[in-house]
Structure 1
Amino acid sequence: MKKSTSLTAAYRWSVASRVAAAALGGYALASAATVLLALLWPAPKAQALLWASMLSFTAYTVAVIWAFHARSNGRAWSGMLVGTLLTSGIAYVVWLAGQGGGA
């Protein structure tokens, strides 16, 4: 007796969507976190960037795990998008404050 283990196309697309969210969204979120941490780190610019880059690997790993832990693909994508936008926005405000703040 042969056991059927075929997966549906919907399931395959769901997994592919999560992989894309983890890879692309995680990269965007980790990049934004690197910029923010480099701006906030109380050290010379080169050292701040080095430490922020090292910590971004942790941010990327957490983002990938979260993408597969989310209840749905929509939550995975929206979490990556909201997190990236929020982190980027905070980094932009911090950068403006460091530049003198003028609009």
Structure 2
Amino acid sequence: MKRVESINETRYRLGVASRVLAAAIGGYALMSALMVLLALPLSWWWPMARGQAVMIATYIGFLLYVPVVLWVFHTCSAARAWAWLLLWTALASLTCWWLLKGGAA
């Protein structure tokens, strides 16, 4: 019986560690991609310098990072958190790549 409790405790601790890594690394990657995705249209469509657009996108990214971290710990499993973070990071990164390559033109 003690072995089963030890396995469950180890599994729980690994799940928490995975969520911490997902929140720190995956959340940072997602926010970085979203900040670039937001800074691009800000610098193109509004009359502001690129530096100002990057600063505004960074401020918004910091505000959005907290809900992402909270969501990672709210999900049912760490695997689901990793999957969603990777999906949204890939979509944001591909959209940035498409916009920078001029795919819309």
Query: TM range, normalised to the smaller chain?
Result: 0.7 to 0.9
Q: RMSD of the TM alignment (CA)? A: 2.0
Q: Please, which of 68, 71, 86 is the counterpart of residue 66 of structure 1?
A: 71
Deviation at 1:87, TM superposition (A): 0.6
Shift in Å at residue 97 of structure 1? 2.0
Q: Name segments (4+ residues, structure 1) moved above 6 Å.
A: none
Name the TM-score, length of structure 1 as normaliser: 0.83
Find the counterpart in structure 1 of residue 35 from structure 2: 34
State the distance in 1 between where 2:63 and 2:33 align.
Answer: 13
Unaligned ranges ≥5, structure 1: 1-5
Paired residue total = 95
- The yes-or-no answer on 1:90 pairing with 2:90 is no
Q: Which residue number corresponds to residue 3 of structure 2?
A: none
TM-superposed CA distance for 1:65, in Å, is 1.2
Residue 53 of structure 1 corresponds to: 58
AA aligned to 1:31 is: S
SS in 1 for 2:102: helix
Counterpart-to-counterpart distance in 2, 1:60 and 1:96: 27
CA distance in structure 2 between the aligned counterparts of 1:50 and 1:15, rounded to whole angstroms: 33
Q: Contact 1:33–1:59 at 8 Å: present in 2 too? A: no
Deviation at 1:60, TM superposition (A): 1.4
More helix by share: 2
